[in-house]
């Protein structure tokens, strides 16, 4: 398995590189992720409607092997499934430090 980082976003937008057929650099995309690191008042921690729509409506993220997009917030880790539904996976720190 190899982790390929997409370019850093600007503000609240990410410029996703071409990923035809749920592949990048010849490799299958199993999952994608982005962060919601701002914790102040007015900052959304859970996946936004734009996050859900971006996964649900991306025709190149429809392969059987794609499990969805992780949204990493300060407190919770979320999964946006290919159909746009959202699940809370658990406490971010605990989930990311478990081996």
Q: What is the average pLDDT across 49-61?
A: 95
pLDDT exceeds 80 at position 10: no
Q: What pTM was estimated for this model as a whole?
A: 0.87
Spatial contact of 46 and 66, defined as CB atoms under 8 Å apart:
no
| 86-91 β-sheet, strand order | 31-36, 68-73, 76-80, 86-91
pLDDT for 99 equals 54
Kind and range of the H or E run holding 82: none
Share the mean pLDDT of the chain: 88
pLDDT tens digits, 69-89 = 999 998 899 999 999 999 999
> Token pair for residue 48?
């936004």
pLDDT tens digits, 33-51 = 988 877 777 787 899 999 9
Kind and range of the H or E run holding 90: strand 86-91
């Amino acid at each position: 398995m190899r982790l390929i980082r997409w370019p850093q976003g600007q503000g609240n937008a990410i410029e996703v590189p071409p990923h035809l057929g749920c592949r990048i650099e010849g490799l299958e995309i199993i999952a994608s992720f982005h962060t919601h690191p701002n914790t102040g008042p007015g900052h959304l921690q859970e996946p936004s409607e734009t996050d859900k729509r971006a996964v649900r409506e991306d025709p190149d993220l429809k392969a059987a092997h794609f499990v969805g997009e992780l949204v990493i917030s300060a407190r919770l880790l979320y999964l946006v499934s290919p159909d746009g539904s959202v699940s809370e996976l658990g406490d971010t720190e605990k989930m990311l430090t478990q081996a």
